[in-house]
Structure 1
Amino acid sequence: MKLQVAAFASLLVALAATAGAVTFDASNTASGTPGGQRFTRDVGLAYSKQVLSDASTFIWNTFNQRAASDRKPVNAVTLVVEDIGGVAFTSANGIHLSAQYVGGYSGNVKTEVTGVLYHEAVHVWQWDGQGNANGGLIEGIADYVRLKAGFAPGHWVKPGQGDRWDQGYDVTARFLDYCDSLKPGFVAQLNAKMKGGYSDDFFAQILGKNVQQLWKDYKAKFGG
């Protein structure tokens, strides 16, 4: 019996190592507000923790980071639902979701929160060029992952729309999707390069064209 217990304990340790030993936690400090109550009713902490886990796995696959050694050294990802304005923000490995946004959202709030958590989880895991990457690109990569996961809202711009490749969010996400269609795995390669720094020349290094020419080609393809 002792041998069986020891073997089972060893199995648990092995499974934890395989999973990268990342933990996911969520709390709701706004449970007394209308938005916090709606979060509890329509989304829930257990569901949110599962989304953070699923999103992290999806992000690792999108970034081609199969091994824990390929990723940022993050051991825990946390979510706090707070009585704050805006939508959400991420600081280090902590995601902060606005209960006010949840309370005022007019559509399917569970689907919306899921998409927001995918976006914010990217900020936990992505490389940012050691702080030198273009802010619009950082947000665009986060929305690109949200797009590929199937949680893009209907109000997002259509392919080809937008004024600049680094406009951020949905505009840049659509552009990155185009770039990835030229060379599957482009976004993963771009993110990997951003581990050590950042240059717009990364686009040319991967795709053979500078980013401004790629933007022109993208606009021409979709008539944007």
Structure 2
Amino acid sequence: MKLLRLHVAAALLALAAATTAGAVTYQVNNQALSTAGRRAEVSPGVRRRLRRAGARGRVVLHLEHLQADEPREPPVDTVVLAVRDVDGIASTLGNTITLGAGYVAGITGNDFNTQVTGVLYHEVVHVWQWGLQDYAAHSWVYEGIADFVRLRAGYIAAGWVQPGQGNSWEDSYSVTARFFDYCDSVKPGFVADLNGKLKDGYNVDYFVQITGKTVQQLWQDYKAKYGN
């Protein structure tokens, strides 16, 4: 684990050096009519948290590919967080993250920064993921990767099951993040490798290519580790 942390730290330094000339700009725009939108826009540190989430997500996604000759990641110059009067919590399209004003309004007390930050860590991953053209057919993979980044950042969502629980590795909003965390323990850098392969679309054989085990065997091993 210590070696992995050093690897991530080195990757962060490499990322900073590689992007100095073309740093990503982060913007927060309130497009909601309610006061909730203003609350998110002026909340101390929202832009800083978005920037940190972006940096963490980029490193996790592209950890093994920072020095590659081919494009390291989808080119993004600006990431926009827009607070809008829409249903739901959040969504991402291209380089724009939409945060629901109604969701913001429903957060009380000290939970605001924690909950919103967790959402940002998830959503900003979609900005830099490869293979989103295949999202509709295999959404659990892409959502699971985004939740993996959120998990590693320490922002566990209330709806996630405990480690080893769950009926399917494809339950992306409750199970997949922890399953991918296990896969990453089997093969450090698993998520970065998986993301790189997704550039060509999803194939279940990627699990064998990366870890040497089928996804079914990994799932069985994961359940067995926790006595399930």
TM-score (norm 2): 0.82
The CA distance in 2 between the partners of 1:128 and 1:87, in whole Å, is 23
- The one-letter code matched in structure 2 to 1:62 is V
Q: Partner residue of 1:109?
A: 112
Choose from 90, 93, 97 the match for 1:91: 93
Say whether 1:206 aligns with 2:210. Answer: yes
Choose from 54, 57, 80 the match for 1:56: 54
Q: Partner residue of 1:179?
A: 183
Alpha-carbon spacing, 1:34–1:125, altered in 2? closer, same or farther (3 Å): same
Alpha-carbon spacing, 1:138–1:16, altered in 2? closer, same or farther (3 Å): closer
Q: Partner residue of 2:134?
A: 131
Residue 59 of structure 1 and its aligned partner are, at CA, apart by 1.4
1:156-181 Cα distance to aligned partner (Å, 9 max, x none): 21111111111112310000000001
Q: Partner residue of 1:169?
A: 173
When structure 1 is superposed on structure 2, of 83-92 and 57-66 the one drifting more is: 57-66
| Aligned 8 A contact 1:129 1:198 in 2 | no
| Aligned 8 A contact 1:142 1:169 in 2 | no
Unmatched tracts of structure 2, length 5 or more: 1-16
1:50-106 Cα distance to aligned partner (Å, 9 max, x none): 222211211122121536930111111101001111000001110000010011124
| Aligned 8 A contact 2:28 2:82 in 1 | yes
- The one-letter code matched in structure 1 to 2:214 is N
The CA distance in 1 between the partners of 2:54 and 2:66, in whole Å, is 11
- The structure with the larger Rg is 1
| Aligned 8 A contact 2:29 2:81 in 1 | yes
Figure out how many residues of one structure are paired with residues of the other and give that number: 206
The CA distance in 1 between the partners of 2:19 and 2:227, in whole Å, is 49
The CA distance in 1 between the partners of 2:204 and 2:21, in whole Å, is 34
Q: Partner residue of 2:9?
A: none
2:22 aligned counterpart, secondary structure: coil
What RMSD, in angstroms, separates the aligned Cα atoms of the two structures? 2.2
